[in-house]
Structure 1
Amino acid sequence: MKPWKLLNTEYLVDAPWLKVAKEKCELPNGKVIDDFYTLWQPDWVLILARTTEGKWVMTEQYRHGTGKIALEFPAGIIDKDETPEQAALRELQEECGYGLDERRETRDERSLVYLGVFPVNPDRHRGVFHVVFFDNVVKNGSTHFDSTEEIETSEFTDEELQEKMAEGSFCHPLQMAGYLKFKLLKHRNKI
């Protein structure tokens, strides 16, 4: 199997937060597709943060795409020259007012774990998201929302979170995939 050959790219939308491209591609069999559309958004980080009591830090905020208030893990755009772990720490503080417990004398190497990078949608989307897990986070300050954000924070046990998934009140598929990756690694004693 061979990849497609990109012959031409025309940007229909070229904004800082979204790019839409019309691409002309040649398939390995010689067929040419004149109008294959792709999307790009900035890379972002999904933050799986668990408190010292073993509860997951969650957010609720309005999402205009669905027109609903959404229950989610904290997440945010990775700034230029920032690692996913740095972005995760910054976003967790900004959105939720949580951070790593600085009072702990020693920190287990598993208290901050990079779980991987995933395509948003391998078919047409060029962006990726990273998943970072923090264990033993604590409420340690105030939030600092962007001008477009209004966020409420809550904590859920693992059982409560799974119930939210089962009933459909937590239904973000990419975030559920990040949580599943965590559970699989934990089950295999990799975390």
Structure 2
Amino acid sequence: MDKTKQRSDKEMKWSTLSSEQLINRPWLKARRDTVQLPNGKVYDEYYVLSYPTWINVIAETEDGELILERQYRHGLGVVSTEICAGVVEDGELPLHAAQRELEEETGYTGGEWEEIMTIAPNPGVMDNLCHCFYARGVKKTNNQHLDATEDIEVFLCSKEKVKEMLLRGDFIQALMVAPLWKYFTLQKDDNKR
């Protein structure tokens, strides 16, 4: 066992000496910071991206199927298989954003909801969080209401098939892979009881 004393968070924190806003748009802000590390080194070009808070939802229908989506992702130029995801609007609680996004993207509502984890998309250069929810017992009550840039194909899969897809690497979005692994871990733990 390593008996080295750990430094406190305060001892490890960097100091921001100056900051310049480079981009200031509703969905993305970018700044260049000049930072000083605890060892005294100064870096005058450290970039931080600011995005709104995000959510995603593992939604299970009343029949026990999971709701998946397919959509084009321009950053990688691929069609991606995903769970429902979106942005928390100003003044909105993450749970309400998750419920709104699920209805808008899939037309499913209701059910029992719980937050299963909160993750940081990339804390080295991004300052937002993603709240991950599990909704059990949702049902189709509406049609999709998509944003202008959304073209989402919705489909249902058995839990077994989704787990196979996860094991095969069919999901490439890390913010969705993490809660899916947590979901299947929780399912396994529930089955042991």
On whether the aligned pair clears a TM of 0.5, the verdict is yes
Counterpart of 2:18 (choices 3, 8, 12) is: 8
C-alpha displacement of 1:175? 0.4
C-alpha displacement of 1:23? 0.7
SS at match of 1:123: coil
Give TM-score scaled by structure 2 length.
Answer: 0.88
Change (3 A) 1:165 1:188: closer
Pair 1:40 & 2:50 matched: yes
Say whether the 8 Å CA contact 1:165–1:171 is kept in structure 2. Answer: no
Task: State the match for 1:116 in structure 2.
Answer: 117
Task: State the match for 2:59 in structure 1.
Answer: 49
Distance 2:182 2:126 in 1: 21
Task: State the match for 2:27 in structure 1.
Answer: 17
> How many residue pairs align between the two structures?
180
Task: State the match for 1:100 in structure 2.
Answer: 110
User: Quick one: which amino acid aligns to residue 70 of structure 2?
Assistant: E
Identity %: 34
Q: Deviations over 1:127-186 (max 9, x none)?
A: 111011100011111111111111110011121112222333322111010112223344
**For residues 162-173 of structure 1, what are the structure 2 equivalents within 5 Å?**
162-173=163-174
Task: State the match for 1:180 in structure 2.
Answer: 181
SS at match of 1:93: helix
Task: State the match for 2:82 in structure 1.
Answer: 72
Distance 1:40 1:81 in 2: 17
Give TM-score scaled by structure 1 length.
Answer: 0.89
Say whether the 8 Å CA contact 1:84–1:132 is kept in structure 2. Answer: no
Say whether the 8 Å CA contact 2:105–2:152 is kept in structure 1. Answer: yes
Task: State the match for 2:98 in structure 1.
Answer: 88
Residue ranges of structure 2 left out of the alignment (5+ in a row): 1-6
Distance 1:87 1:181 in 2: 21
Task: State the match for 2:68 in structure 1.
Answer: 58
User: Quick one: which amino acid aligns to residue 159 of structure 2?
Assistant: D
SS at match of 1:161: helix
C-alpha displacement of 1:68? 1.3
SS at match of 2:178: helix
Distance 2:92 2:118 in 1: 15
* RMSD, aligned CA: 1.4
Distance 2:163 2:117 in 1: 22
C-alpha displacement of 1:98? 0.4
